[in-house]
Structure 1
Amino acid sequence: MILIVDSGSTKSDWLAVDNNGNKLMPKVRTKGLNPAILSEKKLYKTIKKSDELISNSEKVTHVFFYGAGCGTENPRALLTGVLKDIFPNAEVSVNEDTLAAVYATISHPKEAAVVCIMGTGSNCSYYDGEILHQRVDSLGYILMDDASGNYYGKELIKDFYYGHMPENIKIAFGAKYNMESDFIKYNLYKQPSPNAYLANFAEFMFLQKDSDYIVELIKNGIRQFAKNMIFQYGEELKTVPVHFAGSIAYFSRKEIEEVGEEMGFKVGNFERRPIDGLVPFHTKNL
């Protein structure tokens, strides 16, 4: 049994397939497994809540895990140890989520491209057809993650409190979410995964896309992401497309294409759920 995992900070999708890519059980969903944020204890607890995973743990021969927070050595080693312990007979490979996005969005295995993730968090890398190049180490949701779900959540909350929202949008936002300051601060400073909490607010944008305020909010985030992340690959952008993965990117496709034309980068493919493109890649390369 091969387990292929695509994990953000909010949720993790697990696919179990055989060597030919046939599904062995329905997709399993757990909470997100970001080892840069969660403790070892929390990682264990989250996985062990899934009866399907635990009951099949000794059958697993390979685990290919792609996740937010796995781009640096210490968090990657932490999660690798947890997975090896839970799946004792498996070869375990843990990589950053950007690599999953690469395999899911490129049009052929040797295609060079700049590949961006916009989900709960955000990131951007250059794939030269063989090797993934990362020029900016992500410092996470507090300092970076432009155009991500948690970025837009922060912007919406700030605009609500600063009075920058149009009145009709403010009323709708306040009706959908608990905007009491004590409740917000409790979730940000007393609860685990504040980045995932913030990202929950981003759904509001896609329910209000007839608003000029919302469209400009989305575009401003994309412009900031392009300036800080995409244009780190200035020379490469002259010859390669920019692909996008993640739910925020998928639902912001029109705005991304408009900003791409405005700022001068070639927008390529979109993939909402990278995991769907990972099965053929791994079953062909065992």
Structure 2
Amino acid sequence: MALRSLIAQISRQEDINFLLTNRIPRQLLTRFMGWFSRIEHPWVCRLSIGLWRLFAPLDLSEAKKSEFRSLHECFTRELREGARPVDDDPGVLVSPCDAIIGAHGAIEDATLFQAKGFPYALKDLVHDAELVSRYRDGYYVTLRLTSSMYHRFHAPYDCEIDRVTYISGDTWNVNPIALRRIEELFCKNERAVLRTRLSRGDHIIALVPVAAVLVASIRLHFLDVLLHLKYRGPNVIPCRASFRKGDEIGWFQHGSTIIVLAPEGFVLCPQWEPGAIIRMGQGLLRIP
């Protein structure tokens, strides 16, 4: 009876969490949060960060500075030099961000999974027939950033980004509860597909930053536009931006998800499993 009661309690908590984060005017709340987070007032900033710490394990000890002008500046904080050592093994693709490792594994023909029993189609995620063909039977890893994590993302290898596909969409929460209840969630949310050519083996991987509620804004340093709810295109943005392993590419305004897509032959480094916390710069995938 005690076990049943505990299961029922957990289920109720999940229902409340799902209701509070998804059954709301998501886009309106996201726009409001974007405005509010940029208010530069010391008391507003301190109170907001204090409230944030009540609900999340926010650790600012690694931040480059200790005082912030706004909540937005805290969200998008830089880290101290050396806070994220980058694995220099040439056979390893490193994690582009701090994250919790979510669903991962072989792409089954052209099908991925956001959670057990919740498949989604690669073509619906990337909207690019060439990439679908390239990653058929390949490998994927889902990296989920929580609100308190470091929100900037970096190059996983020496590489060149030659195309960005921006796909406007919704702002569903991407927490585990929503992933178990909303079918094809990643294919519904706003996202960008970064086509990335590695310097080794001419491999092409894709980084897919997915926005979410309170988060629908993606900044890429090499583009002169902020990708967010009001930006409608062009959907395909040609570019030519080179990076060294560990170089910063951009950031989320809050926290969300990055899906890494790789061709057949790439495999997850053996020390990782779903639920593990990985830091930017740690080895993520072995390169064939």
TM-score (norm 2): 0.27
Structure with more of its chain in helix, by fraction: 1
Structure showing greater relative contact order (alpha-carbon pairs closer than 8 Å, 6 or more residues apart): 2
Structure with more of its chain in strand, by fraction: 2
TM-score (norm 1): 0.28
